Structure 1
Amino acid sequence: MNRFKIEWECRRGMRELDKMIMPFYQQYFDELTPTQQQTFVEMLGYSDPELFRWFMNQLPAPTAEFQAMVDLIRSKLSY
């Protein structure tokens, strides 16, 4: 995995997503299993509006793996 590319893709256009995705990547990505890391990277390919709906519980993620990742990110970064 290209860490520079992943970090670049963590930068989102929506402030709300920036406050979740980048900190999670910086703090927890290395602790994830290889499968979870792959899921995280694939999730970054979705648009900001889609990700926002998942993180704000407006819509469920399209797969159980993505939903589990959203739930994990939210649980690690709940303030």
Structure 2
Amino acid sequence: MSAEIEKKRLYWHSRRGMLELDVLLGPFLEEAYSDLDAEDKLRYRKLLESEDQDMFGWFMQRSEPDDPDLKRMVRMILDRVQPA
């Protein structure tokens, strides 16, 4: 699959229909995804397989994923939008 087709597919999977998730996932995909290493790209795709309610809790920092890969990706996305 070409990189462009893959990115388009990920774009549609990143659109969740929940504003809180869309404002995090869409910009992350557009601005940071292409700079990720192969393992982090796999982690992002794995994150997209998660339920919206789970992701909402993680991104609102009400809970954390048990999976260390998902925890890493959530932290990477949050670090982009939170002031240092």
Say which of 40, 46, 57 aligns to 2:50: 46
**Unaligned 5+ runs, structure 1:** none
**Which stretches of structure 1, 4 residues or longer, exceed 2 Å deviation after superposition?**
none
**Unaligned 5+ runs, structure 2:** none
The Cα offsets for residues 45-79 of structure 1, whole Å up to 9 and x where unpaired, read as 11110100111111111211111111110111226
State the 1:11 CA deviation. Answer: 0.4
In 2, Cα distance between the equivalents of 1:4 and 1:25? Answer: 10
Identity of aligned residues (%): 27
* Contact 1:13/1:48, CA 8 A, preserved across alignment: no
Whether 2:8 is the aligned partner of 1:4: answer yes
Whether 2:16 is the aligned partner of 1:18: answer no
Root mean square deviation, CA, Å = 1.2
Paired residue secondary structure (2:32): helix
Give the structure with higher Rg (CA): 2
Counterpart of 1:34, as a letter, is: A
Task: Report the TM-score when normalising by structure 2.
Answer: 0.87
State the 1:13 CA deviation. Answer: 1.6
In 1, Cα distance between the equivalents of 2:23 and 2:54? Answer: 16
Counterpart of 2:62, as a letter, is: Q
State the 1:37 CA deviation. Answer: 0.3
